[in-house]
Amino acid sequence: MNGHSDCHQYDIALPSIATQLELTDFDADRQLLDLSGTSLVIFTSQGCAACRYARQQLPHLGLAVDRLVWIDAQENSGLVQRYEVFRLPALFVVRNGEFFGALHTGLAPADLRQALTEALARAPEELP
């Protein structure tokens, strides 16, 4: 090194949610029941522009969750039916194996944080 710092903007990383999982009809129930902490479960589809945006942006929004759990809606119709997914992206909250319901919000960071806080204040239910 030449003794002085060459700091460039691209050296600065946004905070990100390091743990991301891809789950399917075959492993989602077991994983969501066993995982400790808070999971944001997101149903997406490759053909959905808002889903691509969510996949790109959600890891960097600094949400108060331990992990993002991605489920491909086209490949996992059993989960889509059980979670009653009607539009994409669809977001749900699971904490310590308990279901805290859907987040009915847009993808703006402040809206997501508020919806997450409200969801976790509700009484939990069993997973669908």
Instruction: Work out the pLDDT band at 15, boundaries 50, 70, 90.
Output: low
- For the entire predicted model, the pTM comes to 0.87
Domain boundaries, the chain: 19-121
Please state the rounded mean pLDDT for residues 32-43: 97
Instruction: Work out the pLDDT band at 8, boundaries 50, 70, 90.
Output: very low
For residue 65, report the phi and psi dihedrals to the nearest 5 degrees. -130, 155
What is the homologous superfamily of the domain 19-121 according to CATH? Glutaredoxin (3.40.30.10)
What is the structure's pLDDT at 46? 92
What is the structure's pLDDT at 12? 46
pLDDT for 4 beyond 80: no
Mean pLDDT of the chain: 89
Residues in contact with 72: Cβ distance below 8 Å, sequence separation at least 6, in sequence order? 22, 24, 43, 44, 45, 46
Give the pLDDT confidence of 55-95 residue by residue, as tens digits.
999 999 989 999 999 999 999 999 999 999 999 999 999 99
Distance in angstroms (rounded) separating the CA atoms of residues 12 and 20: 21
